Structure 1
Amino acid sequence: MRRYLLRRLAESAVTFLLATVVVFAGVRALPGDPARALAGEDATPELLAAIREQYGLDQPLLVQYTRYVTTSLTGDLGTSLRTGLPVRDMLAQALPVTVELALLSLAIAVLIGVLAGVVAAVRRGRPAEWIANGFALLGLSIPNFWLGLMGILWLSVALGLFPASGYVPFLTDPLGNLHRMVMPAVVLGTGLAAVIMRQTRASMLEALSADYVRTARAKGLAERQVIGVHALRNSLIVVVTIAGLQLGVLISGAVVTERIFAIPGFGKLTVDAVFQRDYPIIQGVVLVTATAYIVINLLVDLLYSVIDPRIRVA
């Protein structure tokens, strides 16, 4: 186990370094001049030169990259070009909002996807499977932005069941927070639920035809115990893999959903930073997302041996 952890940590360090290169190069490839975006179109050359010198934009790219990596390792992600606030503080305000939305979406997706996948596998060839497959196809086909707009139109405007937009911190008003976050979480988790349903169904069908399931039935175990203890547990490896990978996708891909529902998370922060050419914020957002991917993948690998004792990470 120790050797495995050391190897994975070394791989994670290399991945993190490569991520910093991609982030730094990608941000610099964006069209436009951040100094001009900060000073305005009518800025004088002297003012532009002063801004570039103040923020180190006049330095060679290698010098800028070295300073970026060095400060990032110490937790200093720089200062916003637009607001002058530390990027770390701005991310600390936006990240919990996006993480909450991603976790709620993941919980809804796993609950719906696993239940629908188990029903589709157990009721193979029956109307329950056809209905589950139909909902999965709809979930994969409908874009999140359209589903979000329809949710606002019908559930908020027409029926008044949920607020159309806005955000309330959980610690301030837990019920109000959940009331506002349920609809965005459902919108964001619909596509993931369809993916989990399809993969759970395929894994359950394979497990139900295995020898150990036939042996469990021959021993006289109840069908509920055969499905829940033997077949489902061995199918959870696929679910954990998808959920772990998709959690990072939800954190980075909640931009559209957050913009639709006016949620002050990574989405608003990222879009504003791109339009304003705010390099430090863009770099900070992407770097945090890449780090989340690395950590989540490591945790998923460690969870394999917990779910299935036959798997040994060592």
Structure 2
Amino acid sequence: MRRYLLNRLWQSVVTLVLATIVVFVGVRALPGDPALALAGEDRDPESLRAIRQQYGLDQSWLVQFWQFVSHAARGDLGQSIRTGAPVRSMIFSALPVTIELSVLAILIAGVIGVGAGVVAAVRRGGPAEWAANGLALLGLSVPHFWLGLMAILYLSVALGLFPASGFVPFFTNPIDNLHHLILPAVILGTGLAAVIMRQTRSSMLDALSADYIRTAEAKGLPPKAVIGKHALRNSLIVVVTIVGLQLGALISGAVVTERIFALPGFGKLTVDAVFQRDYPVIQAVVLVTATAYIVINLLVDLLYSVIDPRIRVRGEA
């Protein structure tokens, strides 16, 4: 297990280095000059030269990359070109909003998706499977932005059940915080719940047809034990993989939902930085996203060995 862990850590480090290079080059490839955007109407050569010198834009890419990596290794992500605020503080204020929204959406999607997938597999060919498949198809087909607008129109404006926009920090008022986040989390989790349902159903059908399930049934185990302890546990590998990948995707891809519900999260910060050509912020948010993907994938790989001991034994071998 130790050898497997060291191997995965080494792969994660190499992936992070490659991601850093891609991020740096990709940001520089964006059209537009941030110096021109900062200069405003005063675009004489002296002003542009001073701006480029102030933010290091007049140096070679190699020098800029080394400065970016060396400062990031110390936790210094630079300052925003547009506001002058430390990028680290901007990320620390926006990232918790998106993480809380993503985790809540994952929990909602996991409960609905796994439950519906198990029911669809156990009740195969019946009304329950048809209903679960229909809801999954609906969740995959309906765009998030339309569903979010309809939820605001009917549940917030017409019925007044949920706030239409805004955010309250968790430690300020936990109840009000959940009240503001529950609706966008449900909207964000609908598509994920459909994916989890389909994969859970497929994995459960494979597990229920396996020899060890027939052996467990032949021993006289109750159906709940056969389904929950044997079939579902062996089906969770695929579900954990999807949840791990989707959690990273939600952290970086909750832009539409955050825009609709006016949440000051990571997605809004990313979009604003791209439109403003704010190089330090773009580099930092993409680097944080890549790091989140790598860490989540590493944790998912380690969780495999907890769910399935055969993986742990192979890692030790």
TM-score (norm 2): 0.97
CA distance in 1, matches of 2:311, 2:2: 16
Q: Report deviation, 1:193.
A: 0.6
In structure 2, give the amino acid aligned to 1:7: N
Aligned counterpart, 2:244: 244
In structure 1, give the amino acid aligned to 2:231: A
Q: Which runs of 4+ in 1 moved over 3 A?
A: none
Aligned counterpart, 1:203: 203
In structure 2, give the amino acid aligned to 1:74: R
Map of 1:123-272 to 2, 5 A cutoff? Answer: 123-272=123-272
Aligned counterpart, 2:122: 122
In structure 1, give the amino acid aligned to 2:301: D
Q: Report deviation, 1:37.
A: 1.1
Which deviations, in whole Å up to 9, do the C-alpha atoms of 1:34-82 show, x marking residues without a partner? 0111221443221111010000000011111111111111111111001
In structure 1, give the amino acid aligned to 2:270: T
CA distance in 2, matches of 1:4, 1:215: 32
Secondary structure at the counterpart of residue 311 of structure 1: helix
Aligned counterpart, 2:91: 91
Which deviations, in whole Å up to 9, do the C-alpha atoms of 1:73-111 show, x marking residues without a partner? 111111100111110111011111110001001001110
Aligned counterpart, 1:307: 307
CA distance in 2, matches of 1:28, 1:43: 21
Moved more, 38-47 or 11-20: 38-47
| Contact 1:165/1:262 (<8 A) preserved | yes
Q: Report deviation, 1:310.
A: 2.0
CA distance in 1, matches of 2:214, 2:158: 52
Give the unaligned 5+ runs of structure 1.
Answer: none
Q: Report deviation, 1:155.
A: 0.7
CA distance in 2, matches of 1:221, 1:11: 42
Q: Report deviation, 1:138.
A: 0.8
Secondary structure at the counterpart of residue 30 of structure 1: coil
CA distance in 2, matches of 1:166, 1:286: 25
| Contact 1:56/1:64 (<8 A) preserved | yes
Q: Report deviation, 1:118.
A: 0.2
Map of 1:46-65 to 2, 5 A cutoff? Answer: 46-65=46-65
Which deviations, in whole Å up to 9, do the C-alpha atoms of 1:220-276 show, x marking residues without a partner? 211111111111111111111110111100000011110110000111111111111
In structure 1, give the amino acid aligned to 2:297: N
Aligned counterpart, 2:24: 24
Give the aligned CA root-mean-square deviation in angstroms: 0.9
Q: Report deviation, 1:182.
A: 0.5
Secondary structure at the counterpart of residue 310 of structure 1: helix
Aligned counterpart, 1:278: 278
CA distance in 2, matches of 1:125, 1:42: 70
Q: Report deviation, 1:18.
A: 0.7
Secondary structure at the counterpart of residue 146 of structure 1: helix
Secondary structure at the counterpart of residue 256 of structure 1: helix
CA distance in 1, matches of 2:137, 2:118: 16
| Contact 1:16/1:291 (<8 A) preserved | yes
In structure 2, give the amino acid aligned to 1:272: D
In structure 2, give the amino acid aligned to 1:144: H
Aligned counterpart, 2:293: 293
Q: Report deviation, 1:21.
A: 1.0
Q: Report deviation, 1:7.
A: 1.5
Moved more, 6-15 or 197-206: 6-15
| Contact 1:38/1:276 (<8 A) preserved | no
Q: Report deviation, 1:296.
A: 0.5
Paired residues, number: 314
Q: Report deviation, 1:8.
A: 1.3
CA distance in 2, matches of 1:311, 1:14: 23
Give the unaligned 5+ runs of structure 2.
Answer: none
| Contact 1:120/1:128 (<8 A) preserved | yes
In structure 2, give the amino acid aligned to 1:123: R
CA distance in 1, matches of 2:97, 2:249: 15
In structure 2, give the amino acid aligned to 1:280: P
CA distance in 2, matches of 1:16, 1:267: 21
Q: Report deviation, 1:143.
A: 1.2
| Contact 1:199/1:238 (<8 A) preserved | yes
CA distance in 2, matches of 1:272, 1:39: 18
